[in-house]
Amino acid sequence: MFLSRSVEGIVEIFQSVRYVRFEAEFLETHRRFVLDGLAAAVLPDFTIREERRRGLVVELPGPPLGREIYFLKRRGRPLPAGVDLFLKTLSRTIADLR
């Protein structure tokens, strides 16, 4: 039923009637629920890349979902070299994805 609906339609349904049968903390658990036919889930691409390539899962139609990432640091204090390198790498990777 949900495969032909848009993401907005699914969100609308779940906002009005929340039927949560499974909850899990780890992405791998959600992935297994989907692969075992026990659930539908919104998962990051990297967790199901191979399964999508093999046709084991399908992408629901609708607008792309995103997430905002914030980094906070204390004003006037330098970042450790490893953190600075991580932030530069993360910024470059995000820019390459756009």
For 13-57, the pLDDT digits (tens) are 555 555 666 678 889 998 898 888 888 888 888 888 898 889 888
Q: For residue range 46-71, what is the model confidence (pLDDT) as tens digits?
A: 888 898 889 888 877 777 777 777 78
Between 87 and 16, the higher pLDDT residue: 87
With respect to residue 31, please indicate whether it lies within any of the assigned structural domains.
yes
> Taking a C-beta distance cutoff of 8 angstroms, is the pair 52, 59 a contact?
yes
Predicted pLDDT of residue 5: 41
Number of domains comprising the chain: 1
Predicted pLDDT of residue 28: 92
pTM of the model: 0.48
State the residue range of the domain holding 36. 2-53
Report residue 98 as tokens: 């756009």
What CA–CA distance (Å, rounded) separates 7 from 60?
7
With respect to residue 79, please indicate whether it lies within any of the assigned structural domains.
no
